[in-house]
Each structure stands twice: as structure tokens, then as C-alpha cells.
Amino acid sequence: MDYHNLPKEELIKNFETDPKVGLSKQKVTQLREKFGPNNLQEKKKKSNIQRFFDQFKDVMIIILIIAAIVSFAIVCVEKNWGELFEPGLILLIVILNAIMGVVQESKAEKALDALKNMSAPHARVIRDGEEKVIDASELVPGDIIKLEAGDFVPADARLLHSVSLKSEESALTGESVPSEKDSEAIVPSDAPLGDRNNMIFSGCSITYGTATAVVTGTGMNTEMGKIANLLAGETESQTPLQKKLAQLGKYLGIVALAACAIIFIVGIIGGADPIHLFMTAVSLAVSAIPEGLPAIVTIVLSIGVQRMVKRNALIRRLPAVETLGSASVICSDKTGTLTQNRMTLVKAYAEGDESDTDLSEAKGNEKIAQLLRYGTLCCDGSVVFENDKETHIGDPTETAIVLAAHKWGFPKDELNKTYPRLAELPFDSDRKLMTTINSIDGKNVVIVKGAFDMMMNRCVSGDLDKARKITETMSENALRVLAIAYKIIDKVPQEPTSEELENGLTFMGLVGMIDPPRPEAKVAVETCRKAGIKPVMITGDHVVTASAIARELGILLEGDMAITGAQLDAMSDEELDNQVENISVYARVSPENKIRIVKAWQKKGQVVSMTGDGVNDAPALKAADIGCAMGITGTDVAKGAADMTLTDDNFATIVEAVREGRGIYANIKKVVGFLLGTNIGEVVAVFVAMLIWGVSPLLSMQLLWINLVTDSLPAIALGMEPVEADVMDHKPKPKDEGIFANGLGIRIVLQGLMFGVLTLVAYWLGSKWTGTAEGGQTMAFMTLSLSQVIQSFNMRSDHSLFKIGVFSNKNLNWAVLASLALVLLVLFTPLNIAFSLIILPWELYLISLGLVLIPTVLMELSKAIGIIKHNK
């Protein structure tokens, strides 16, 4: 029901209540049974056990578990308990991976908790004719509640009576200043949330005045409850990287199973031992699955998270790092995100001047100095300075005047002492004026401050036509304009009235203020455009204000559209899909509008980032591919729903985050290419060797050592490669672009074939030279593991190693030394017995080292002749 559109009398009749008596105890009980407690419902969360078992749904993990079970079964059949090391190692890897996943998810889904905490704990209510304080959860629709400045609003309510009431609703509507409320207003039924000035909303706060209201909605039936429903309904979708790795796991699983099937068929036809075939299948499965890939990608993302923390961006979910690097559209809230969330006085006009003046250029203008002094004397707001920190107390439009006067050398405290206040008429939304009487130089001076349209007819002196035109110009530039006038009276009245004080005034001037853009936001927007990212402003503020800020920042360009939430509601989904790329500003929007905008962009195949700080941003933050909340001004709800929090509330930080995201994704591609090159080489070597010689050149334990121990450290170091300087000079990669795009997949296959051939050559030479399979396996192990370690240098860049500096990545240098030590450990210590390795003749070690250097020679040649190109 549109409660804001009903007369108060009809509303009271509908709720069967009485403004003076309130509800009866019996009626409250009936209504509580019908509507339930005034609480937000919580979505049931997964237990840690459920999260743990969810980790085992990945195809790669399932294949590893099957491999471990098969290996364990063979150990039990043959009663060779010394071989338990192999299945035990596989299962340990799987369990550690699952635990890591649970830890990552344990802090998720805090948005609804934060919403509950925002609910007011107590409420002043009239029941059975008595005023009492009760828990807010006990409120029911029809309750009569009383509110004053400083109170949280405990439920949605329609005003019955109000005096100078203002409500802080920026978290819900995006308005940068408190909303003025009027209990007598009848608002159109289709009015957006921010224009329903006869309503107050749960979770907001009263900043000025007093009110009596009737509760119209509790719990999930409040505007806050609707947002909670939206949050509960929005599922967290997988990021592009998660989808690609899951797809990769399926492909590798199919390859492993197909290879196993072929080996089995060939083996059975050849009369091979089934137990031997099972062990070979385990080896193939282990060789095909990059066991370390999920963990290493997680570590690389974690390193990226640490880098981003240093740049004031806090990541909630690791894969969000990569997604941010893919962002092609940034939908940003205006208030507090692109702007400073602080009204600032920027223009002033004094009666008699030619035109309005930028305040920064008006120093020395005595008339404007007098305007600021009088304006400050007529303000209740104040600005407190402590340890170089400004604290604004009271109405933002008043604190803007007070701060401007302070900067001109007129601190409010000193003005109040010099020119004491003798009487006042508080602001109210009917008059839209505030009046004080101050003793100035022995005279009783009435100072009136308020809206020009209300002031104009009360003035008897001044060029009001000129002032009206300047007011209109300021308003067109999205400035909030206040007029200041005065008169001198002989005697201070005992009971001041508006009729007596606010007439016969001398017009003094105008002040214009705005919530200004962050200085760094314009540069950030420009960088976004250079990087092929479309910035979009989404705000609850008025379209004129939003458009002016967007134009100044470079978001609203020539030919772009700025529309309101009402215009958006009038659009069909098809119309929005056709127009969405041309719309750069959305004003006066609802939470549902924000989700619709995000999803319209997502239909275009774009990776959408949503930044914001208010409760009203939370559902869209969650629906977006990546949500970025503000850390200082941001609500807990926004932070809980977002993937990333900007700890300095600086829009420019998002540019650095995008840069890091792009760099990290490039590094992940290097890591994936590095690890898969090994896996393909292993599959080729095992598969071909089984077909030719009927024996595997590498045992599963040896493969695990290469995949998990030898390769892991260089892979992590590759993930720490510095971000390339030109990463923000090109467009984001398309949403549907595979991880193997731009020739990476072909290169990985070719590199895998190269490693496979080198391993087979090494095995053949070793087995021929020593006359044993162990000799061949030892030489194959040494060649493959060492060539992979050296390959990590080749994977650093598409540029020549000698151009970027062979040893310029210090982390990689240390990782390579550690990996070499680990290879030598199993080759030349008693550990070689556990790995079925033997000591080779010195000639074979020299030949193996020669084979190890072949990949570097081939990679440098391919870079030199342009087979490998640097992709921008």
C-alpha cells in the first residue's frame, strides 16, 4: 500500500489506532501474531562441514581421490605396506586443498548480520495511553512512536506530526544531505523513496526536530527489509577465473580418462598384468592433473591481495582480484565515492556585486566577508578542529557556511562571543527559513537564512530580480543555494514570531554549496577511459546535481544520457538493453534499479564492477561481478556484500586495483602455462612410453614430486612478477575470452610436446646406458624436473629474457635455487631409494644438462623471430 499517498486520517483508520492512545495490549498481541517480530530474517548459512565437502565437487579433485583409492586398493591387494606413502600423499594434498577453501569462505555472508545490527534497539511508543520505551523488535504496524534528534528510526512509519524534522537517509537513498520531512505533505503514489517526505524509514536516523508517527511496516516489510530480501535472493556467481579453471579441470579429467582407457585396452590386448595397468593409470592420472594449480593460483592471488592492501584495497574473496582486472564497466555511486560526502561552500553573491564569485577568488571582498559572518551567526551547526581533524556537527549546509567563515578568519565561537544570540526562530520545512537575533555593535540585528523563493517576498530592499537569476544559474550548476537577509529592530520581542521578524528584510546575498568531486576522481575516470573501461554514475541524488558532477568528472560526455529512476522504471528490459551503453548517469534510483542496471550490462557480456557505500548499494554490490565498498564512510552492509573494500574511500584506488588485477591475471596465465607445460609433457612421456616400451618412464611418486615440490616454488615466484608498465594502455579482455587465448594454448601444447620428447629421449638414453628401467627413470626425472625449473625463467615475459634481465625477479632466483636443491636432494641422498632412483654415470648427467638447456634456446629463438609475440 502507498502509505505516503494516503491522508493521515485514512491511515489511522486503516490501522485501527489512535494518535493519543495508541494500540491496546490485546491489539498488539494480535498484530504480532500476524506480522511477527520487527526483525530482519536471516538466510540460513552453510556449516563448515558443508563447505568442506563442497570442495570435493571439482573434477580434478575427484580424479585425484579415485587415483588415491586405486593406489590404496593395490597396496592392500599386494600387501606392500611400504607403498602407502603414495596414496597418503595424494589424500593429504586433497584434504589441505579443502581446508584452504573452507578458510576462504568462513568470513562470507555478513551483509544480513550488519543489517540486523543497524536496526534500532529501542523505541518510544504510546500504548494504552501511556508513553513507554520498548525493544524495537516488539513494534507492530499501527504503533504510535515518538522521535527526536539523535534517534534511530525503529521501523518504517508515516508522520502524523513533525516540527523542523530532518532525517539522515544517505545510506538508503544516496542523498548527500538530510531529508526535510513534512507530516502534512501528500506525496504522489509513484514518488521515489527520496521524495517521500512524509515518511521515515527503518535504519535511518533523525538529525533535527521532533516527530510523532504511525508504524506502517516492520521487519522484512520495511524498505530495509526489502534490501535484505534482495541480498538473500542474489547468489554469488563464480568469477571468470573460477569458471575457466573448473572447465580446465574437466578437460584434463577427460584427457586422463581417455589416456587410461587406451592404455588399458592396449595392455589387455598385449596380455599385460592388470595390477601393473592400474598403477600406470594412477601415474597417468597424476601426470594429467596439475595438483598444485589450485593451491598455487590461490597463493598468487593472496600475494596480489597483499599488494592491494598496501594500495588501500582490501579483498574479501581471492578470485575477485582477477575479476577486477577484467572489469569493463564501473558503476559508481556518487555520494562519498566520487564526491567528498561533505557540502562545501563554493560560490557567493553579495548585494551590489556584478555577479556571483568563486569563494576562493573573493578574498578581500568585505561584503562577502559580512555575508559569511551573518550566515554563520544564523547557524546551529558547528565544525570542531582537533589534532588537524575536522568534525562536522549538525546540518551539512550549515557546517559548509561555518567552515567557509572559519577559513576567512571568522571562527564561529569567536563570532558568537562577540555578537551573542538574543533570540531565534528554528528552521521548519513550511517556512524553509531560520532566524536569529544577535547583538551587533549595540544593535539588535535580525538575521534570516533560507530558500531564496521563500525569502524573496519578505525583502523590501535589494535587486531581487538579479538575485533570482543568479539563484537559477547556481541551481542549474547543481549548487544548493541559501539566501541571507537582515533587518534592525529596536526591541527583542518576548515571544518572537515569523510575521514580526521575517518581513521587511534587506536582502544581503546568496551562498552556493555543493558536495564537490574528489580531486583525484577526475584523473581516475580519465585513466579508466584510457584503459577501455566505461564509468557509469548511479545515485539517489537529483538528476541535475548528478549530471553536473558527472560532466565535471568526465563521466557524462557529449551524446551521453542522464535519466531518472522513474524514467528507468518506464523502460522495458528490451529498451534498457538497447539504451544501456548510451546512459552514463542514473539519478533518483532504487535498489532494484541498481540491480537491473548491473544485469543489463552483464547481458552485454561485460564484467561489471559496482562501487558504493550505502545500504542501498548492497544488493547491486552482490549482483555485480565485483562489488567495491567504501571503507570509511561505507556501511557494514555494503562491506559485507562487496568483494573488495577501498580503505581510503578513494575512487582513484580502484584504478590501482584494476591495474593490479590485470597484472595478477597475466601472472596467473604465466603460472598456468608453466605448470600445464609440465603436465602435458608428463602425459606425452607416460602415454608414448607405455605404447612403445610397455613401461612408464616416471613413477607416480616422481611425478608428484615434480608437480608439487619442484615446480611449485618457481610457479609462486612467477606469480610475483612485477606488473608491466603498459597494462592500462589497452582494453580489458573480453568476458568470454579463454585463459588460453592469444596463442597461449598452442604454445603450452608445443612446450608440453617438447618436454615429452626430451623426457622420452632421456629415458631411452638412461635405460640403454644402464640396462635398467630405474636408470632410464632417473635420467627422465632429472631432465624433466631441471628443464621445468629453467623454463620458469622463459615464462616470465613474451620479451626476450636478456631484454627484461635474466635475474631481475629476485623471488624467482631464490625459488629456482630452492627447487634445484630439492631435485639434488632426491637424486643424491638416501631419499632416492624411496623414489626408486639410482646414481648414474657422470656422462649421463652431462647429457641430461645439455637436454635441460634446449627449451631456453628454442624459446629465445621463437621470441626473436616473432613466433611468440608480446600481446597488448
Annotated catalytic residues are: 333
Distance of alpha carbon 705 from alpha carbon 693, whole angstroms: 23
519: how many CB neighbours lie within 10 A of its CB?
9
Alpha-carbon Rg for the chain, nearest whole angstrom, is 35
- In angstroms, the CA 294 to CA 668 distance is 11
Cα(412)–Cα(406) distance, rounded to whole angstroms? 7
CB 154 within 8 A of CB 173: no
Q: Which residues contact 579 (CB under 8 A, 6 or more apart)?
A: 561, 571
> Is there a contact between 679 and 707 (Cβ–Cβ < 8 Å)?
yes
- Beta bridge mates, 144: 126, 214
Closest CA to 539 of 212, 262, 126, 172: 172
| C-alpha to C-alpha distances, 492 to 415, 425, 458, 761, nearest whole angstrom | 20, 12, 19, 107
User: How far is the C-alpha of 61 from the C-alpha of 245, rounded, in Å?
Assistant: 12
Contact 191, 136 (CB under 8 A): no
- Sign, CA torsion 739/723/653/519: negative
Distance CA 148, CA 123 (A): 11
Residues 6+ apart with CB under 8 A from 392: 342, 381, 383, 399, 403
DSSP per residue, 605-665: T--EEEEE-SGGGHHHHHHSSEEEEESSS--HHHHHH-SEEETT--HHHHHHHHHHHHHHH
How is residue 565 written as a grid cell? Answer: 529512476
What letter represents residue 21's amino acid?
V
d(CA 305, CA 300): 9
Q: Residue 611: which residues within 8 A CB-CB, separation 6 or more?
A: 330, 331, 332, 333, 337, 627, 628, 629, 630, 646, 651, 654
Burial of 769: CB neighbours in 10 Å, binned 0-12, 13-18, 19+: middle
Distance CA 580, CA 586 (A): 10
Nearest to 239 by CA among 670, 602, 529: 602
Gap between the Cα atoms of 499 and 507, Å rounded = 17
| Helices first, then strands: H and E counts in the chain | 34, 25
Cβ neighbors of 337 (< 8 A, separation 6 or more) are 611, 612, 613, 630, 649, 651
DSSP letter assigned to residue 719? T
Cα–Cα distance measured from residue 850 to residue 834, given in angstroms and rounded to the nearest whole number: 27
**Residue 812: DSSP 8-state:** H
d(CA 772, CA 694): 14
Question: Distance between CA atoms of 229 and 288, rounded to whole angstroms?
Answer: 44
Q: What angle do CA 534, 535, 541 make, to 5 degrees?
A: 150
